[in-house]
Chain A
Amino acid sequence: MTFSDLPTELARDTPVAAYGRVRLTPRAQSAPVPDRRAEIVREVVFDAHDVSVDYGAKRALDGVTMKIERNLATALIGPSGCGKSTFLRCLNRMNDSIPNFSLGGDLRYFGHDLYGPRANRVEVRRRIGMVFQKPNPFPKSIYDNVAWAPRNLGMRQGLNERVEKALRGAALWDEVKDRLKQSALGLSGGQQQRLCIARAIAVEPDVVLLDEPASALDPIATASIEDLIHQLKLRYTIVIVTHNMQQAMRVADRTAFFSLDEQRTGTLIEYADTKQLFSRPSDSRTRDYITGQFG
């Protein structure tokens, strides 16, 4: 069975998934009911308006306005220090624990203010999963890595099926089904990264954020992760940071190019369909970057 054979309704019919979809805070209004027939007009998942990020007195990111749409893969590219990872980590509030972090502007997730007083960051991350640059499995068995979050979130029913589904979803099942009880640290780097993806999708989030997920992997493992991203976006909204332009071209529907402005502050330069951005960039800075004249 391949991933695309899985019934897509499954997530919405189970009570657990319904729980994840209803509200951001206990008493907030209901999120818009997803209407799959109207998916051609894509829903906006993240709506950033003039978002800026400061670390103490240092402004790291300025004036980012963009909409990230549902069931697409959106790539964030740009030179080092341009704020693309910072922006990605704002989307599930992973920057909150950095001392002196502050966010300006307006960042909304399905219309909810992500940094509003009623938005709980644990709940935010429950719906917006993340996979990191370096594979970071827990020092537990393969099974327990995937089952860890569901267990801790009270999704104990049908745990075996959930683990299998997540591992199949991450295209890892066939490689590990006979050694689920073995330590995850014995897997190869590429397998570990797919395990991390399985771990992230085991709680059925809406969005999966990928922070340079293939930069620590060899080309073959990278290819398998890229194949996987194509499958994942059928079901999840994907936002991927990459420093590899070819990778953005291969996996992303939309691409956002970040760079540094005159004050050396990261900012969004251009955001467009991937094909258009790479073939007919409208900004000269984008053109310089993708043609290799800078960065």
Chain B
Amino acid sequence: MSAITPDPAHALTPSGNLARRLRVSLAIQGLAVSAAALAAAILFILVGFTVVKGIGALSWSFLTGNLPAATGQAGGIGPALVGTAELALMAGIISVILGVLTALFLTEFASPRVASPVRLMLDLLAGLPTILAGVFIYGLVVSRFGQSGIAAAIALAMVMTPLVARATLESLQRVPETWRDAASALGVSHWRTVLTVVLPGAASGITTAAILAVARGAGETAPLLFTSSLYGNGVQLNPMHALPNIPLEIYTLIETGYPQSVSMAWGAAFLLMATILLVNIGARILLRRGERKRGL
């Protein structure tokens, strides 16, 4: 131990082991800062690389043209855009209905004893590898009825539902208890209260949850592998058939190895990424605005 009583004559520079402790502190701080910078850099590099590689492929004919009729040929991604939109819409409808109802059950109707295991199951479901959703629906639907847009939408909804439920849950929990008190003190039934006070109070949060889940689902690949991969090269709207889609089309194009196909894959990847990023940012702005308007 060094001197216990500080020497008043000593200048106010670090004394004893303080200098060493300050150096350690600085080093740890530096590590944390560089880790955060690396995380941000990865996003920027990924986005930048995709933009550079992909933006050149964009053209009107690329966006609207049919998929390449044969390996390595020229073509567009029009049918895949339409198919992905349709899949995301169907899966969005399923997952929003299921997710919002689940969240309502958890906040409004379930006793705490039931709610906590259900919440745990939602988290576990959200953490499952997405290919399991594909395998499961393959076993349940595809092995009997063949591939279809509906089967793919169900598989996507399995991935999206826990996301919708969790985000909706959070926004329902932010609805002030005083509103529920006010409503129940007026002799209005619980369900009417939920429908006309609680849900509107959480509307912006639920909308955001739905948009984010759809954005996530639109980019999912694994659930589609066994459910919607055998499609033609033209536009397919009938959900009873496999629907062309962007994620699998990127996979197929890259797999061919032809330079033309690979650059098309970059173009499609850029398009997917840009859409999802913009939707994500937009949804978050919407959420903040909506909550501010409701005084939350």
Contacts and interface: CB of A to CB of B under 8 A. Distances in A.
B295 A203 contact: no
B185 A125 contact: yes
Given A139-B201, A139-B294, A132 B182 contact: yes
Interface stretch (A2-10, A30-38, A147-155): A147-155
A19 to B, nearest CB: 12
Given A138-B197, A139-B294, A139-B295, A152 B178 contact: no
B187 interface: yes
B31 to A, nearest CB: 45
B295 A185 contact: yes
Contacts of B17: none
Q: How large is the interface on A (under 10, 10 to 19, 20 to 34, 35 or more residues)?
A: 20 to 34
Interface string B174-200: 001011011111111110110011001
Contacts, number: 72
A28 to B, nearest CB: 17
A53 interface: no
A222 B199 CA distance: 33
Contacts of B295: 139, 185
Interface residues of B, number: 23
B186 A136 contact: no
A199 B294 contact: no
B187 A138 contact: no
Given A152-B192, A152-B196, A153-B187, A196 B178 contact: no
Contacts of B197: 138, 148
A168 interface: no
Interface of A: 92, 94, 97, 99, 122-127, 129-130, 132, 134, 136-140, 148-149, 152-153, 185, 196, 199-200, 203, 205
Given A152-B193, A203-B187, 4 more contacts: A132-B178, A136-B182, A185-B295, A200-B185
The 6 lowest CB-CB distance pairs between A and B, nearest first, are: A126-B187, A136-B178, A130-B185, A149-B186, A125-B187, A152-B188
8 contacts: A94-B184, A99-B112, A126-B187, A126-B188, A129-B185, A132-B178, A138-B183, A152-B189
